[in-house]
Amino acid sequence: MHKIMIAAIAVTGMLSAMPQMAQADDAKAKMESMKGEAKAKGQEAKGETKALIEEAQGNTMRGTMERAKGKTKAAGERIKGKAKELKAKTE
């Protein structure tokens, strides 16, 4: 009888802890997504800044290239953030 009672308490404790673990995973996933988006915006801003500098110097083609590189790097950061978000949700 004593062993059954201990097992029942253990199962009850595990079931009550599961929602808290799920909330922690959701918070971590949201954080990873936000970090990826912040890095993406930073890369876009960096590319735009370099593009404006090049255009001010008269290099419109080089400015267009810098802008495109910034957007490409931003897309990569978004993909990394999304991958980390999905990983955090499955943990």
Say how far apart CA 74 and CA 48 lie, in whole Å: 11
Domain that holds residue 31: 23-90
Residue 83 inside a domain? The answer is yes
Say how far apart CA 87 and CA 47 lie, in whole Å: 29
Residue 10 inside a domain? The answer is no
Residue 69 inside a domain? The answer is yes
- pLDDT attached to residue 8: 61
Residue 50 inside a domain? The answer is yes
Residue 2 inside a domain? The answer is no
Residue 16 inside a domain? The answer is no
The pLDDT confidence band at residue 11, using thresholds 50, 70 and 90, is low
Tell me the average pLDDT of the chain: 82
Total domains, the chain: 1
Contact between 70 and 44 (Cβ < 8 Å): yes
Say how far apart CA 31 and CA 57 lie, in whole Å: 39
Residue 57 inside a domain? The answer is yes
Kindly compute the dihedral angle of the four CA atoms of residues 22, 75, 80, 43, in this order, to the nearest 10 degrees.
-100
Chain position carrying tokens 């990569």: 76
- pLDDT attached to residue 15: 57
Say how far apart CA 15 and CA 45 lie, in whole Å: 46
Task: Please give the average per-residue pLDDT across 66-84, as a whole number.
Answer: 92
